[in-house]
Amino acid sequence: MTRVLVTGGGGFLGSHLVERLERDEHDVVVARSADYDLTHLDDTARMFEDADAELVFHLAAEVGGIGANRANPGRYWYANLAMGAHVLEQARIHKTPKLVIAGTVCAYPKLTPVPFREEDLWSGYPEETNAPYGVAKKAVLVGAQAYREQYGLNAIFLLPANLYGPRDNFDLETGHVIAHLIRKMIETDERGEDVVLWGDGSPTREFLFVEDCVEGLVLAAERYDGPEPVNLGAEKEISISELAGLVADVTDFRGRIVWDTTKPGGQPRRSLDTSRARELFGFEAWTPLREGIERTVAWYRAARTAGVGEPRSA
């Protein structure tokens, strides 16, 4: 049994990881923002003192969709950079045996050739609407590599694709793409209205079911100890237009989908090369997109009926 600290352990990805670790009979410390503000070094130090962990997963982040990124560029840059820097420094001070850091696909350059390979991470600037967030996370990668080189800290850095699944953030301003579409279509359908979506639907994305991502995190923690970043994805690219049609089908949406081309659509294409994860620690995603969306819709409908379908806080 290992004592494990999970930052952001009360959030979407974190809660699923905590469940998996507890099922594997680890002693898990769940760090929530209500207890520790990781943008403050003193709080981060107190968290490490309280946890006394052998393994740390740093999942805490401040993030949202295109609208939230446009509204909060300074906050997202500062919060994610500060949290990453503080966690790295305290892991060094406390001689943490291993640190697993969750990065973001938003760190990749706007016009990265598809599929995104880890070697292309520095070949350009990220897409403008989420660049402050992506740059902050990429700086944490540099910090992890620097701390490894100077202090011998075993910090690994993973780059998950866009996540979705039960317990996602369904807030219409800050939620992830699939969760946003599910809630918007269900609520709009109940009002008998058409649904209006940003952009023209042409950008593509790759989506990773949350339980698949958890498997990747666990495998990497067990089997990978290198300095290079590693993609976690499903290797399935889909346009936002096709995705909207799929979500409409699963939710039985009866209205029209209207595209507001005065609004941005984000990065033109996103899809990951996951061969490094497969070769280094045997990771492959297994959940088909439609199945994952069906499970997410079922969870959201049940949570909404029970009155617990509000966005989660890490």
The domain limits of the chain are 3-167+206-236+270-288
pLDDT at 169 (0 to 100): 92
- Quote the percentage of the chain above a pLDDT of 90: 89
Categorize the per-residue pLDDT at 289 as very low, low, confident or very high, splitting at 50, 70 and 90. very high
Of the two residues 51 and 269, the one the predictor is more confident about is 51
* Closest among 153, 142, 31, 26 to 100, alpha carbons compared: 153
Task: Examine the pLDDT at 313 and tell me if it is beyond 70.
Answer: no
What is the assigned CATH class of domain 3-167+206-236+270-288? alpha beta
pLDDT at 69 (0 to 100): 86
Active site residue 133: yes
Give me the mean pLDDT over the 241-263 stretch: 95
- Quote the percentage of the chain above a pLDDT of 70: 98
Categorize the per-residue pLDDT at 266 as very low, low, confident or very high, splitting at 50, 70 and 90. confident
Categorize the per-residue pLDDT at 309 as very low, low, confident or very high, splitting at 50, 70 and 90. low
Choosing from 133, 147, 164, 300, the catalytic residue is 133
Categorize the per-residue pLDDT at 63 as very low, low, confident or very high, splitting at 50, 70 and 90. confident
pLDDT at 68 (0 to 100): 85
pLDDT tens digits, one per residue of 141-187: 999 999 999 999 999 999 999 999 999 999 988 888 999 999 999 99
Contact in structure between 208 and 235 (CB atoms under 8 Å): no
Q: Write the DSSP symbol of residue 246.
A: H
Q: State the DSSP H helix or E strand holding residue 98, giving kind and residue range, or none if neither.
A: strand 98-102
Categorize the per-residue pLDDT at 314 as very low, low, confident or very high, splitting at 50, 70 and 90. very low
Lowest average pLDDT, out of 95-99, 194-198, 282-286, goes to: 194-198
Task: Examine the pLDDT at 310 and tell me if it is beyond 70.
Answer: no
**pLDDT, mean over the chain:** 94
Residue 222 tokens, joined = 């067990």
What pTM was computed for the model? Answer: 0.94
Sign of CA dihedral 141, 226, 86, 38: positive
> Which string of DSSP letters, residue by residue, matches 145-211?
HHHHHHH---EEEEEE-EEE-TT----TTT--HHHHHHHHHHHHHHTT--EEEES-S--EEEEEEHH
Contact in structure between 36 and 44 (CB atoms under 8 Å): yes
pLDDT at 308 (0 to 100): 67
Contact in structure between 296 and 175 (CB atoms under 8 Å): no
User: What does each C-alpha distance from 121 to 5, 208, 286, 288, 291 come to in angstroms?
Assistant: 28, 19, 25, 27, 31
pLDDT at 64 (0 to 100): 81
